[in-house]
Structure 1
Amino acid sequence: MPHLTIEYSPNLGDFPEADMALALNASVCASPEVKDESDLKTRFVRTRHFQIGTADTPRAFVHAQLRLLAGRSPKAKQDLSERIAAVLRRMAPRPDGTLVQLSVEIVDMDRPSYVKESLG
């Protein structure tokens, strides 16, 4: 915990996953909500197929989902969401003539059912 997943459409070209992962982790770990930087796990998922709406116009998306243990205040969640959005705004590709939709979602994980262990 926390788990950060960035999904993006394949029409965004060369997506800067490695650089973005470093920037996202630095921004999220700077929050007082993250007690240990090694707890944050970030991954990227490039979708194979997608459809945005019904119009035949160039569109793309970047969606971030941060999953963390329940109990954070709405203000803390808003801060985390904005930290992520700021990095995505700065680093997401913007192909000419393509509308890129950006979204960030904070999801609470159920504390009693969550299992985390270190192996090895």
Structure 2
Amino acid sequence: MPHLTLEYSQNLAPFPEAEVLHAVNAALCAHPEVAQESDLKTRTVPVASFAIGTQPERRAFVHAQLRLLSGRTPEAKQALSALVLQALRPLVPRPDGVQVQVSVEVVDMDRASYQKERW
């Protein structure tokens, strides 16, 4: 914990995965809600098959889902989602003629049932 999954539509290729992973991890690890940097697990997931709305316009997306153990305040969640969006903003490709949507959500993981081991 935390887990960050970044899905992006493949029409944003080439997507700068390495730069994005570094930027969002650096932003989140600088926040006091992330107590230990090695606990943050981030991955990118290119999405080949997708639809955005019903119109034939050229559209693309990036969606970040940050999963945290429950118990964070609404203000902490808002601050973390804003950090992720701020880190993504300069790195998400903006192809000509393509409307790009970037979104971030914070999801609570049930603290009572979450288990983790380190080896």
TM bracket (short chain)? over 0.9
User: After TM superposition, what 4+ stretches of structure 1 lie above 6 angstroms from structure 2?
Assistant: none
Deviation at 1:88, TM superposition (A): 1.1
What is the percentage of aligned positions where both structures have the same residue?
A: 62
Root mean square deviation of aligned Cα: 0.6
Deviation at 1:104, TM superposition (A): 0.2
Q: Distance in 2 between matches of 1:112 and 1:74?
A: 19
Matched, 1:18 2:13: no
* TM-score (normalised: structure 2): 0.98
Aligned counterparts, 1:52-63, within 5 A: 52-63=52-63
Task: Extract unaligned runs of 5+ from structure 2.
Answer: none
Q: Distance in 1 between matches of 2:36 and 2:55?
A: 45
Deviation at 1:90, TM superposition (A): 1.1
Show CA shifts across 1:54-102 (max 9, x none). 1010000000000010000010000000000011111100100000011
* TM-score (normalised: structure 1): 0.97
Structure 2 equivalent of residue 116 of structure 1: 116
Deviation at 1:48, TM superposition (A): 1.7
Deviation at 1:32, TM superposition (A): 0.7
Does the CA-based 8 Å contact 2:23-2:88 persist in structure 1? no
